Amino acid sequence: MSLFSKGHRVLFGLYMLLCKASAAYSNFTTTCEDPVLHTSRLGHLSLLSASCVTTTEALNSTKSTNSTNSTSSTNNTDSTATPLFHNSTLDLNLCLGIDDSTAVLTWSIYGKFSLYCSSCHVVGRTSLGCSCATLSGVKANSTIDLDSGISNSNGTLSCLGGIGMDN
């Protein structure tokens, strides 16, 4: 006899999948430099740009460098290789929304937070602060650490809801 009904098991499974997936999207600042928040064409502070390490290109460059050397070493990595960087921009509307009951910024696939938030500004190095309001009128000042939901995917900024564009 199961503790949960079939429907509850399915919901719990989906919840666990989302938790696992969202954990993979974090710590972009460990491999990206100079994160900058700037305004979109619509005037919202909703674009994140950074210069991020490209792991594939870095590995390929070290392998090609080592293959041109006349050594018989089987090690294809060079610890002195210069990392390669790629400029990327991510639209945070693909990543952030607001909680419908509290108006607090939250990680949400295609959340379109900029429709509900105004007066957004940078807080510290990697946080976004905004004044947000729900359609029912609940208002809140909210801050979210962008490093907790965005990652570097081979030189491109990404989150659970989207992937960045090349600059």
Average pLDDT, the chain: 78
Determine, yes or no, domain membership for 145: yes
Nearest CA among 80, 86, 58 for reference residue 158? 86
CA 111-159-43 angle, to 5 degrees, is 55
**Rounded mean pLDDT, 133-138:** 96
Determine, yes or no, domain membership for 143: yes
Determine, yes or no, domain membership for 37: yes
Q: Based on the structure, what is the number of domains in the chain?
A: 1
> Which sign, positive or negative, has the C-alpha torsion 17, 18, 21, 24?
negative
Question: 78: part of which helix (H) or strand (E)?
Answer: none
Expressed as residue numbers, the domain containing 136 is: 6-53+87-166
Segment 2-43, tens digit of pLDDT: 455 554 444 444 433 343 344 467 889 999 999 999 999 988
Say how far apart CA 127 and CA 123 lie, in whole Å.
5
Determine, yes or no, domain membership for 36: yes
CATH code of residue 125: 2.30.60.10
Determine, yes or no, domain membership for 72: no
> How much is the pTM?
0.70
Determine, yes or no, domain membership for 142: yes
Of 7-16, 17-26, 47-56, 158-167, minimum mean pLDDT range: 7-16
**Rounded mean pLDDT, 81-100:** 91
Determine, yes or no, domain membership for 75: no
Say how far apart CA 21 and CA 78 lie, in whole Å.
32
